[in-house]
Structure 1
């Protein structure tokens, strides 16, 4: 199964073009290091939540936009080797010194895919992060697999649900604090890829009208602490 390095980053809204240029420059070096796929998405429909949300997860300011991104590897060994190569690469060190965002508030972690259905990247994604009791791992995978099939039936291209494997504590922010995860809970990093925003909105509307979605009270985790939002795919190629 795919190994995912997930990121959530607050980026000054005015620095969108600078961020794209930075990501494009980094992509070439990341591919050299062994990253199989790199995806960057700009916040477009990212709601405020009552308990948690993406903005609070990274202490975003009013003039910042949330970026939801990830790297994909064939396995953790490939991820670890890539990270080691990047840390030893002077070009990456130089790029880190000129990042167009506050790296101290970026949250990141390594995740092992639990569910992978469909294929393709698309122009829009729903990004989700949740805290799931570790004892409910199998129940979560079953529920997520069933939900993925429904999304694909309603126009989604690909659904990936990944379970925490190497999610570090941060000094300022981190994934666990983002969803108020307890000691007995794992962090899940997930996305749904759609062809575009119109397909996403139509797919969700059709699903909600069908009555086939699992009610929040029946989910194997506390949906009130899940953070989610819609993100437009940034052009890197």
Structure 2
């Protein structure tokens, strides 16, 4: 199944255009390395949470927004080969010296798809980061597969659930800290692609009002530490164009 490199990035609001330019210039290079698709989405409907949220995940300040981003690869071997090329390419050092964000607070990691429904593409994305007990992987996958079908029925173009495979602990921020992961827990990087924001909003209203969608028993994760948000695309190499959100 598809392998994902997931990113959450704090970016100054004033640097939105600079970030889009940086990503647009970076895209051809990563595609040269082997990235099949690169997507950059800018925080649009990202609420503050009581326990965790996207902003806390990267220690975002009041003058910063959050970018939810990912690279797609056909498999882990392709991802590893691409990373080796990136590490040895001198252009990467130049790109790294001119980043319009604080790279020390960016979180990233490699995730293996466990649910993959739909062909992808769209005008709006819901992003999720979820702490899942290792012993409940199968239960989570079963629930996620069920929910993916529901989202697709309500108009989602694609639903991805990917679980941590190569996610390192960072000095300042990381995916584990982001969800306050406990011993014996892993992390899921998940997203839903929609045709546009209106379709997403209408779908969620219908899903939340559906009595049959209420859980029958205990959830296979701690919902209080899960966080999510809505994001507008600013770059999608599958479309070969940059969105001007």
The verdict on a shared fold, with TM-score over 0.5 as the criterion, is: yes
User: How far apart, in 1, do the equivalents of 2:106 and 2:18 lie?
Assistant: 17
**2:19 matched residue in structure 1:** 19
Structure 1 ranges of 4+ moved more than 4 A: none
Residue segments in structure 1 that go unaligned for 5+ positions in a row: none
User: How far apart, in 2, do the equivalents of 1:118 and 1:200 lie?
Assistant: 15
Q: Superposed, which structure 2 residues align to 1:12-51 within 5 Å?
A: 12-51=12-51
Q: CA deviation at 1:233?
A: 0.8
Change in Cα spacing, 1:194 to 1:135, as seen in structure 2 (3 Å) is same
User: How far apart, in 2, do the equivalents of 1:87 and 1:156 lie?
Assistant: 36
SS in 2 for 1:223: coil
Q: Superposed, which structure 2 residues align to 1:123-202 within 5 Å?
A: 123-202=123-202
**1:232 matched residue in structure 2:** 232
SS in 1 for 2:112: strand
**2:122 matched residue in structure 1:** 122
SS in 1 for 2:213: coil
SS in 2 for 1:61: coil
Change in Cα spacing, 1:212 to 1:40, as seen in structure 2 (3 Å) is farther
User: How far apart, in 2, do the equivalents of 1:6 and 1:44 lie?
Assistant: 18
SS in 1 for 2:17: helix
SS in 2 for 1:186: strand
Q: CA deviation at 1:56?
A: 0.6
**1:212 matched residue in structure 2:** 212
C-alpha RMSD of matched pairs (Å): 1.1
**Per-residue CA distance 1:171-203 (angstroms, 9 max, x = gap):** 100000000111200100000000111000000
Q: Is the Cα contact below 8 Å between 2:39 and 2:235 reproduced in 1? A: no
Residue segments in structure 2 that go unaligned for 5+ positions in a row: none
Q: Is the Cα contact below 8 Å between 1:159 and 1:192 reproduced in 2? A: yes
Q: Is the Cα contact below 8 Å between 1:26 and 1:92 reproduced in 2? A: no
User: How far apart, in 1, do the equivalents of 2:178 and 2:212 lie?
Assistant: 29
- TM-score calculated relative to the size of structure 2: 0.94
SS in 2 for 1:6: strand
